[in-house]
Amino acid sequence: MRTRMVLRWTAGVLLILAAGNSGASAQAAREAPAADTQQEVADIAPSSLSEFSCHSLGSGDSVCFSNHGNISRFKSPSAFEHIAVGYIGEGYSLCSSVGISGYDAGADESGFGTATINQPNGANTFPLTITRDTTDGFFRLQQTFSRDTAEKDVIVTMKLTNLSRSVISEVLLVRYFDGDMDADTSDDRYAQTTDSVWGWEDNTGHGLMLTAQSFAVPHFMAAEPFSSWDPRTGGVATHCDIGGVTTPTAPGDFVGAVIYSINAINPGQSKTVKVLYRRF
């Protein structure tokens, strides 16, 4: 997959050079934000780490979301944290035939602009929707968050809109998490199936699972070593080329990911996929 993605991105760069002013045209084609949005947050990386909106998952369990649509904390059971440990990394990346439009891995990000937040019932309530446009003018990503307190679930609905005046093909939308089970970073095991990837503290601990919910959209799951995912060193968090390793893994430090192959999106068209996080 890595070779195919390099070829696709190379073709995308050539397409942009040949198109001349197509980027400017795409920028002009953006839609205005919805009128009922309540606030805007500056396009700075620390916003991806802030605990902007926190919610109970029942029995003292909690989840927090950042201003930019990252899960910045996932505590379940109440004394066990799985995200806000060491490098805080949960988020998304977006690529297509036009190149790498952007990523936000939590502590590091590039390519996404100002976040527009719609939380009509006030702080720390649902519904919660966070919308961001890519700075290249091609896409709008709208994320809507919900929960199931009985199942300890968090559902993320991601709606992707083509803001340009041309069909954009080979669209890949990735969701990933640097899960450090039970508040430590080096002794987790990871495994995957066709629709899920999860990490767990073997024998005596807890686990966190990421599951694809849009089964009709082609997708695959991956477990990636943190060292090769790390965005600070240009790892796969910064693009969509996540090949993964054979699972189940030996104990170590890993990241789980789902890669949705959305394929072509027509001008002005939107396509939606969902993912689910569950503690087990």
- CB-based contacts of 222, cutoff 8 Å, min separation 6: 192, 197, 242, 243, 244, 245, 256, 257, 258, 259
DSSP secondary structure letter of residue 45 = G
Q: Which residue has the tokens 């968050």?
A: 145
* 3-class DSSP state of 230: coil
Phi, psi for residue 66 in degrees, rounded to 5: -85, 170
- What pLDDT is attached to residue 48? 73
Phi, psi for residue 51 in degrees, rounded to 5: -95, 80
What the block records as the tokens of 162 is: 């083509």
Q: Which of 106, 113, 228 is nearest to 177 (CA)?
A: 106
Q: What is the pLDDT of residues 195-246, one digit of tens each?
A: 999 999 998 899 999 999 999 999 999 999 999 999 999 999 999 999 999 9
Q: Which of 36, 51, 21, 56 is nearest to 154 (CA)?
A: 56
Report the C-alpha gap between 220 and 229 in whole angstroms: 17
Q: What is the pLDDT of residues 65-77, one digit of tens each?
A: 999 999 999 999 9
* 3-class DSSP state of 76: coil
Exposed / middle / buried, residue 52 (Cβ in 10 Å: 0-12, 13-18, 19+): buried
- CB-based contacts of 18, cutoff 8 Å, min separation 6: none
Q: Name the residue range of residue 66's domain.
A: 2-279
- What pLDDT is attached to residue 132? 98
Q: Which of 3, 11, 91 is nearest to 45 (CA)?
A: 91
Contact of 132 with 144, CB cutoff 8 Å: no
Report the C-alpha gap between 55 and 180 in whole angstroms: 20
CATH number at residue 178: 2.70.98
* 3-class DSSP state of 17: helix
Contact of 279 with 76, CB cutoff 8 Å: yes
First-to-last C-alpha distance (Å) of the chain: 31
Report the C-alpha gap between 11 and 17 in whole angstroms: 10
Number of domains in the chain: 1
Flag residues of the chain having pLDDT under 70. Answer: 1-47
- What pLDDT is attached to residue 39? 39
What the block records as the tokens of 229 is: 């995912």
Strand extents, DSSP E, 163-206: 168-177, 188-192, 196-201
